[in-house]
Chain A
């Protein structure tokens, strides 16, 4: 393999940054959206605790989406246009969902008390709409926007599986952040969401090689196959461990953080697997990283800004999670 010049490397740095932003978004807003969807099974008091558990974080979490899509827009303008034109309607609906969720978050505590139930319903509906649309978009994206009877079914399946994955993430977040009756409920919710998430993950893993020749060759050629097989194997072990933990009483004690942590690992591994499948394309079999990228000069200018701000963002996020660590404070009606 010949060494790359810095100019050739730049698009790779940016696809990496964009991927990481989107991964952080999926995990962090994933638990927010999951908690939002689970609220329809909770009592009004529990809802307050659930919202309080994500309160200090959701604003920053959503901004990772802006950063990810922003990087797609500025670093890979051709891909941005192609992807978002293909996903026009689901994108619009997802945005409506995110708008409703974000607005309801603030309104539910500031508006008149008798309107709170309405804002809660909008919060739940917004979370659900955004999750379903993201699932559909993911399904369409990884199948390369193919035409035919089987593609919508596949995207539809992901549109169910991703919200389930978010719900599982949200439920395990609550297992970690709450105690008492709500924590008990959260364990039960986790058990319900586990099978569809696992099924969805298996479906995605099988579908990408089936759809694309390139992907098939990359995964099922020896000796690379042995090395990359560690990704699904590790993810599988992590998922089974989550299920075992959920069935045992330790999950409500000292190990309450473990299911959430393992699920973050599963999301990370899925992201690795997906990246391995798609690389070096931005849109599978249609547009490579280098074809889609902006000029090296512009990328360098953006990179300076990223290098200055990203470490600060990471440091602050860590600080914020540390400040608000531990169980969510019970609500005070004094």
Chain B
């Protein structure tokens, strides 16, 4: 296989593994803040304890998620140089400041407030601890802000000038708030909200099925359902806006997403097809007439540009086409499950004990639904930018490293093996922590709530 393709696969493996963890932690930070506030506000002692238990369990999830985000993030900072040395040489003047702000924000938050949030409950006052939790949540969001600004700039570059082949910044405001940035940020934040909501739903449903910590699990499950039921429709609207933005700035990506080869008026929406990159056509099409034009142009006879308008400058179609369908399909499924779940819960008189077990099994099965949708969505936008690394300006193959492909293949295999093993361990530990939530460390919670955090810290569970 050629080196550029291997380098792309390796980088893709790494960012795929990495995004799993931020997509949880961006929203989970705010959820923790919510649990904390609920705990502080509650007047009923049982309720107070339930929210505290929820906070404790999910803080452990947060710590584990954050740690895996850090280790895979360290790898990324190296892979920019090992895989794409030409990238920073050409656009370093623009990508550099954005990346450094991302690193500094992440650093700032990590060296600072995560330590206080995880270890410091006994050592600092309630308000300071609450403040630290807020800043961790806020810092994670800021990290996403900067890295998405850079990613969006690579999709829809703006505010730059080229002097002797080198990119220089002309306007930082235009660079940061480039055309696709607001949509991408909104889309990703909502994706994180949905991913986190379904993690809450799935794990709490699992706890209810296993009869573990049922009181706090019920509260978390309800929170997750409400959260998902609100975020899912919002995400569909945000996705639609993002799609229209992509149509304006990256029409070849839309053409690949919809599998449109020839420019057409009144293009039909393909429900199923096997796009064939070599023959430049689709096989086995199942289509709804005029719907694609209606969705994208808000006009049944609107014109959509086809891939043949962009010779040798459009993305591979098969992957983009199918990832898009997986993302949308997952989104619809999440909307249905959260709404039906909430309706059923309301019909059951807000008692999860009366919820049918198959429904709980469905919830548990959807634990990682957000991951599937998020990854599929990122594949659409990233593969959809190919063959360019900076859309329309720099080709990926021009900035790749000249490392022999055998080295890339060996390290790729090692990375994949390590990532898969860690992923299995992560899911296994989540399950284990959920199932043992009321056995471990909660025994004396009602006796001496104040003595708890220190014990946690001694056991190093938040390490």
- Secondary structure of the B contact surface, majority rule: helix
Complex formed: what's the CA distance from A109 to B60 in Å?
11
Q: Which of B359-405 contact A (CB under 8 A)?
A: 401-403
Is there contact, CB below 8 Å, between B67 and A63?
no
B99, CB-defined interface residue at 8 Å: yes
B71: Cβ under 8 A from any A Cβ: yes
Min CB distance B334 to A, Å, is 28
Q: Please tell me if A334 contacts chain B, counting CB pairs below 8 Å.
A: yes
Q: Given A95-B74, A100-B418: A294 and B96 within 8 A (CB)?
A: yes
1/0 per position for B104-124, CB-CB distance to A under 8 A?
A: 111110111011000110010
Task: Assess the B401–A88 pair: CB atoms within 8 A.
Answer: yes
Of A50-58, A190-198, A221-229, A281-289, which binds chain B? A50-58
Number of contact residues on A: which range applies?
35 or more
CA distance A164 to B64 in the complex (A): 30
* B103 located at the interface, meaning its Cβ lies under 8 Å from any Cβ of chain A in the complex: yes
Report whether A103 and B401 are in contact in the complex, using a CB–CB cutoff of 8 Å. no
Chain B 227-241 per-residue mask, 1 if CB under 8 angstroms from chain A, else 0: 000000000000000
Are A96 and B111 in touch, CB under 8 angstroms?
no
Which residue among A93, A106, A320, A331 has the maximum number of chain B CB atoms within 10 Å of its CB?
A: A106
Closest to A306 in B: B104
Question: Known contacts A112-B432, A332-B459; is A81 also within 8 Å of B86 by CB?
Answer: yes
A62 contacts B by Cβ under 8 Å: yes
Residues on the B chain within 8 Å of A85, using CB: 81-82, 85, 401-403
Check B168–A297 contact: CB distance below 8 A.
yes
Cβ–Cβ contact B70 & A74, under 8 A? no
Those of B36-80 within 8 Å (CB) of chain A: 60, 63-64, 67-68, 70-75, 77-78, 80
- Interface positions, chain A 94-126, Cβ under 8 Å from B, are 95-96, 98-100, 102-103, 105-107, 109-112
A296 to B209, CA, bound (A): 60
B248 within 8 A of A: no
Chain B residue contacts of A313, Cβ below 8 A: 107-108, 111-112
Q: Say whether A46 faces chain B, with CB atoms less than 8 Å apart.
A: no
Of A65-73, A139-147, A257-265, the segment with at least 4 beta carbons within 8 Å of chain B is A65-73
Number of B positions contacting A (CB below 8 A): 68
In Å, the complex CA distance between A262 and B228 comes to: 56
Count chain B CB atoms within 10 A of each CB in A88, A102, A110, A323 and give the residue with the most: A110
Residues 85 to 137 of chain B near chain A (Cβ within 8 Å): 85-86, 88-89, 92-97, 99-101, 103-108, 110-112, 114-115, 119-120, 123
Name the prevailing secondary structure of the A interface residues: helix
Smallest CB-CB separation from B96: which chain A residue?
Answer: A74
Q: Does A13 contact B (CB under 8 A)?
A: no
- When distances are taken between beta carbons in the complex, the residues of chain A under 8 Å from B108 are 309, 312-313
Q: Which of B74, B114, B403, B463 has a CB less than 8 Å from the CB of A106? A: B463
Complex CA gap A60/B67 in Å reads: 11
Q: Is B82 a contact partner of A88 (Cβ separation < 8 A)? A: yes
The 10 closest A-B pairs by CB, nearest first: A81-B85, A74-B96, A77-B92, A77-B88, A84-B81, A92-B411, A102-B71, A60-B111, A298-B93, A70-B103
4 extra interchain contacts, Cβ-Cβ under 8 A, other than A73-B88, A99-B72, A306-B104? A63-B107, A66-B106, A95-B74, A103-B422
Binding site for A on B (CB under 8 A): 60, 63-64, 67-68, 70-75, 77-78, 80-82, 85-86, 88-89, 92-97, 99-101, 103-108, 110-112, 114-115, 119-120, 123, 166, 168-169, 172, 401-403, 407, 410-411, 414-415, 418, 422, 425, 428-429, 432-433, 455, 458-461, 463
